[in-house]
Structure 1
């Protein structure tokens, strides 16, 4: 007997029309069948056609009762899926936002029953609580990614986030320090320990984590002719003046920005997910706390880890001679500290370290920056504004924008272009000052 190609429709004793549709195969090898129950034959046929089309395009939703938003986002997406591709610290930030802003509004809804209006309700509640537009936009991006994955895995029939308009967020204006403010800050830093830390930030525009993760083996002298390299510390120790490979004097110092120092929050070790048996809210307070490291990451003490930068952020950049001189003076001071500490001195090789050679916590670095700019009499600014300052000063001097992109490790030229409007103002100011110096103030002899 030939196999039926179209499901049989029959009327049950309950007065409804029924049909069973095979849409694929389950993971256990059995047929994946879906039951249809409708008031009319036409309604059953319509639903059959929908399921057969979904089967043909492999878009049939999973069978059974779908997960709630809370279960999918917290227990599945953020617990088992996202950690495979996203930095653990970022995942923790996502979890906090979802727990505080999304779950209270739509957490109890089933994923396959959420509509665009429900998502809009989340954003409305966030704004009612006075949260910044940028935070609302961050939540939108988290949900967009989560629903995209849910649709791909057939948890939901389609990605409803495509129906939601992204919240608008005002772009934060960059406020780099002026050249005079940068000089005042460096002058104040000269009187403090680890003063070269801020010279590096202003001169080559490193991110905070890149500067704190810099290690002496990654500071090199490179030959422009043959490409041979030697560690900068060995260059100083040997009092070298030319390449040992080809005897060329065309050499220059470079820094390999290959690592970033970050603080990683500890996670609960008492259970895989909440509720936590230890009774503590924060993972750092759990008696069995654990620090989760991804492949290639290095634990350097406490919650501090070294990780490789992403994409173009991993780069090798030239170091100006003035900065080399500053680093040499810093190296000599650090050597004295190493001799005083003897065996207690850590062997990580950090360029900027505490008095025992340990890494500098980013929070402590931030406090040092705030104290520094206050001592310098400079307006309040963020640590990252030092990087903005480097970018704008380079562009104001006419350095090609693609060179600036490479030096700063921007993933896209569009990021670098964001500095051009500030740089043009600085360039105009510089030309006006030069004009006054050459030709005098307008209207004067």
Structure 2
């Protein structure tokens, strides 16, 4: 580690690791050169080789994608591949260590300005963050520049949940039963358990347990067109079976082998969304909802029956309680209910808006 003064009057700092040359830079002042050397030496002592960060981002990205191809699900790998297309060319061509939070934020802004949906930019951010987390783990860089940058809020209208009320679910169930009793039973179970479509398709008879309490062990998922994989978030959860749907699940499991699919057509075949919505005339009987709104229905049903939000979080498999709180806000919080009671109650001796309206 040395600093020399050049013929032009500037200061050249050279970093070595033992006898091996690592890198060098030229500065206007000796203090700047010394500070750079100290930073690079600290990084090198901490296990991050400054030379590794000199690789072009696109070359490191190719190596990471080769690893992801054999370590993650096909759908996840496909999303990761989009980084080649979405990362701005200018950013792909810079040194890995030169990518700062500002470059990351600009890439979000460019994608949003180009018309990419907010949700797609959020997915892009997630993949980019995993990429840089891998770079940190491989000691190519010392810090993940994505973690401190959020995707700007765009103006696209958010997809709102539209759950059934409990009475509305029962009314729809009666209509579905006239079209196909088995499919109607399965959708009612989804409306009481919050299973995702892929989780329902992959559920096996062995995942139905009755001891110590009736429930479904959610371990697998199989979205259409994909092989069986772990659930979203890769965590197992237990979902209770209320009496309203327990007998239905018992009937579906009766006489079946443990590794048979639990939710199937009458002929024992795996269910497909297209056939299901066609048979049940979902466009009409679902009243504009998505099948995924059955999951929202379950969460709202649980909360409206005073199940604790933390318990609902566990049953739904939400990583964050903030996700569960969306349902609380949809239903109305205790503060909302207390405020509404105040609006509807007589103002009493204190007078108020009603007295003013009556000329008091």
**TM-score bracket for the superposition, by shorter chain length:** 0.7 to 0.9
Equivalences for 1:324-403 in 2 at 5 Å?
Answer: 324-330=246-252, 348-354=259-265, 357-360=268-271, 364-365=272-273, 368-369=276-277, 372=280, 374=282, 377-403=285-311
Task: Report if aligned partners of 1:69, 1:103 keep a CA contact under 8 Å in 2.
Answer: no
Task: Report if aligned partners of 2:11, 2:28 keep a CA contact under 8 Å in 1.
Answer: yes
Match of residue 217 from structure 1: 206
Task: Report if aligned partners of 1:205, 1:408 keep a CA contact under 8 Å in 2.
Answer: yes
Cα 1:70–1:371 change in 2 (3 A) is farther
- 1:418 maps onto 2:340 in alignment: no
CA distance in 1, matches of 2:142, 2:210: 58
Task: Report if aligned partners of 2:48, 2:140 keep a CA contact under 8 Å in 1.
Answer: no
CA distance in 2, matches of 1:256, 1:162: 33
- Structure 1 residue 46: deviation in Å? 5.1
Higher helix share: 2
- Structure 1 residue 199: deviation in Å? 1.7
Give the one of 274, 284, 304 matched to 2:227: 304
Question: RMSD of aligned C-alpha atoms?
Answer: 4.0
Task: Report if aligned partners of 1:373, 1:379 keep a CA contact under 8 Å in 2.
Answer: no
CA distance in 2, matches of 1:144, 1:203: 35
- Structure 1 residue 200: deviation in Å? 1.2
Task: Report if aligned partners of 2:13, 2:26 keep a CA contact under 8 Å in 1.
Answer: no
- Structure 1 residue 321: deviation in Å? 3.2
Equivalences for 1:190-229 in 2 at 5 Å?
Answer: 190=177, 191-192=179-180, 193-222=182-211, 227=212
Give the one of 80, 84, 91 matched to 2:77: 91
- Structure 1 residue 198: deviation in Å? 0.6
Task: Report if aligned partners of 2:40, 2:50 keep a CA contact under 8 Å in 1.
Answer: no
CA distance in 2, matches of 1:143, 1:306: 22
- Structure 1 residue 94: deviation in Å? 2.2
CA distance in 2, matches of 1:211, 1:221: 18
TM-score (norm 1): 0.62
Match of residue 278 from structure 1: none
CA distance in 1, matches of 2:36, 2:306: 65
Q: Deviations over 1:4-58 (max 9, x none)?
A: xx6474869x99876653236xxxxxx4322536477836555444433333444
Task: Report if aligned partners of 1:258, 1:315 keep a CA contact under 8 Å in 2.
Answer: yes
Match of residue 114 from structure 1: 99
Match of residue 314 from structure 2: 406
Match of residue 355 from structure 2: none
Match of residue 176 from structure 2: 189
Q: Which runs of 5+ in 1 are unaligned?
A: 1-5, 25-30, 228-251, 265-302, 339-345, 433-445
Q: Which runs of 5+ in 2 are unaligned?
A: 342-360
Match of residue 22 from structure 1: 16
Cα 1:39–1:368 change in 2 (3 A) is closer
- Structure 1 residue 203: deviation in Å? 1.8
